[in-house]
Amino acid sequence: MTPPLILCFFLPFLLRLPPNAAAAGGGGKWDLLLPNTGVSAMHMQLLHTDRVVMFDRTDFGPSNISLPNGQCRHDPNDKTLRVDCTAHSVEYDVVSNSIRPLTVLTDVWCSSGAVIPDGTLVQAGGFNDGDHAVRIYKPCTDNSCDWREIANGLKQRRWYATSQILPDGRQIIVGGRRQFNYEFYPKKTAAEGPYNLPFLAQTNDPGIENNLYPFVFLNVDGNLFIFANNRAILFDYKNLKVIRTYPILPGGEPRSYPSTGSAVLLPLKSNAGAEVLVCGGAPKGAYSRANNRDFVKALNTCGRIRINDPNPQWVMETMPSGRVMSDMLLLPNGNALIINGAGMGTAGWEMGRSPVLSPVVYYPDKQAGSRFEVQNPTSTARMYHSAAILLRDGRVLVGGSNPHAYYNFTKIIFPTDLTLQSFSPAYLDPKFENLRPRILSPISGSNVGYGQQIPIRFSVAPGQLVQSTIMVTMIAPSFATHSFSMNQRLLVLDRGDVMPVGGSAYQLRARAPGSGNLAPAGYYLLFVVHKDIPSKGIWIHIN
């Protein structure tokens, strides 16, 4: 569909077409999907309907897409528009490459979210009159669904907080500006929480913070790995107990907002232990200097740590270039993609410079010193308030970039960007089609129990199969905002032998994760990978 657009005179500034794949770099291809999504994709979440929910904030001013049927939002507390007839959230249909406007009632700026076991997106917090709100989006395929708001669903203001889904299906919401505590949603009782978390106060740099949007990961033992600023703890949220304090990241430089780096929980493999990778950020003092228009080079180092080792230590690595405000995504073949961001400055209004246009693939299983590979560049700067997520077909959806307090398209270094791109990693190159598996069964949307053996049939072009390279992975789609992909998780499943079943078809059995500590209940993307080339994913529902 073509949405009703306003402010269309800005369209020429949005049509910055990406280049074709070039010889430089390790590969990958950029494509422009839409020249104008109507809103800036500050927050993004893929749902099991193959729709992507995006939103920015209500106090940016009027967006570029109208609310349907002449509707208007009336909010006497809004700081910019008390009557606003434009949308600040949209749903993107991946299959039809189209958008439709959605309605948020209060400000969702700099919020968090998680998808609960039934596939519903539960978003938490925001700014101004939206900072205590919870918003519910139950997916549909007939374009009838929209946001539902619970005005006081949270006990504390949650602005720049992090959400993590838990084994019991609830989400824990950690931190936020001047909030050194956490709470749960939904709550078991009306009196539940919030609970103090002194670690957040200890990691707060006065006047700068450097501990917002903490990196939170569910460990395989059910506890939480929480990283803020330049250090981390393992936290037992049930008993309010710090189980382990990890060493400070070597160098002591901040990696959390506004000195924004990115982080992933590396792929979980049977008996291999859990590892966290933290990359990029900005040096101490970079935020204050950027405020004075002195833009410092971003950090070019990553720290990697085995979080359950008896004596865990950070192992440092060096990226091809410095990066702040980048996104880090797990790809179906177990590698990580570092994308978006800047080479100088920090997060914040007009605080970044030198956009980094080339993604980088990180190969966690290669030898140290040979793990990074630069990919083909885009021509579109993705600065502050950009986001990226993985799609079911293996592409990466990229949008956003608005380092201004309002929509601003002209006479500015980095205009508000409403374009939507895809980055196709090298594994999608047509030259690999003869290696690419195609899943024949189970059907997408199948239910799977913990520990269950999953019979998987797939095909590969005749004469191409190398059985020892077959891998089955499952990925939890993430809620992406401010350079952190919340709830992102990739598991490499144990599998049995690959057996031919006729023609170019094969069958194997893969074992589903054994508990909610490994994989909280919900929808996951399942892939068959052959010689590092993934199939298209199918949805499975772990319950």
The pLDDT tens digits for 502-531 are 999 999 999 999 999 999 999 999 999 999
* Cα gap 122→323, rounded to integer Å: 30
Instruction: Tell me the H-state helices in 68-208.
Output: 198-202
Both tokens of 243, joined, read: 């189980």
| Helix H or strand E encompassing 476 | strand 471-476
* Cα gap 530→466, rounded to integer Å: 8
CA distance to 83, 91, 115, 118, 494, per residue, from 145 (Å):
23, 10, 16, 15, 37
Q: What is the 3-state secondary structure (H, E, C) of 41-81?
A: CCEEEECCCCEEEEECCHHHCCCCEECHHHCCEECCCCCCC
Using pLDDT thresholds of 50, 70 and 90, give the confidence band for residue 13. very low
163 touches 172 (CB < 8 A): yes
Using pLDDT thresholds of 50, 70 and 90, give the confidence band for residue 534. very high
pLDDT at 11 over 80: no
76 touches 27 (CB < 8 A): no
Which pLDDT score is estimated for 60?
A: 87
Q: What is the pLDDT of residues 156-208, one digit of tens each?
A: 999 999 999 999 999 999 999 999 999 999 999 999 989 999 999 999 999 99
Which pLDDT score is estimated for 193?
A: 85
Both tokens of 495, joined, read: 């599998």
Task: List strands edge to edge, sheet with 241-245.
Answer: 215-218, 224-228, 231-236, 241-245
Rounded to 10 degrees, what is the CA torsion of 40, 163, 50, 340? 50
* Cα gap 543→541, rounded to integer Å: 6
Using pLDDT thresholds of 50, 70 and 90, give the confidence band for residue 76. very high
Q: What is the pLDDT of residues 409-435, one digit of tens each?
A: 998 999 999 999 999 999 999 999 999
- Helix (H/G/I), strand (E/B), else coil: 150: strand
Q: What is the pLDDT of residues 320-372, one digit of tens each?
A: 999 999 999 999 999 999 999 999 999 999 999 999 999 999 999 999 999 99
Share of the chain above pLDDT 90, in %: 92
Using pLDDT thresholds of 50, 70 and 90, give the confidence band for residue 24. very low
pLDDT at 4 over 80: no
pLDDT at 386 over 90: yes
Which pLDDT score is estimated for 9?
A: 32
Q: What is the pLDDT of residues 83-136, one digit of tens each?
A: 999 999 999 999 999 999 999 999 999 999 999 999 999 999 999 999 999 999
| Of residues 325, 179, 163, the one with CA closest to residue 255 | 325
* pLDDT mean across residues, the chain: 94
343 touches 360 (CB < 8 A): no
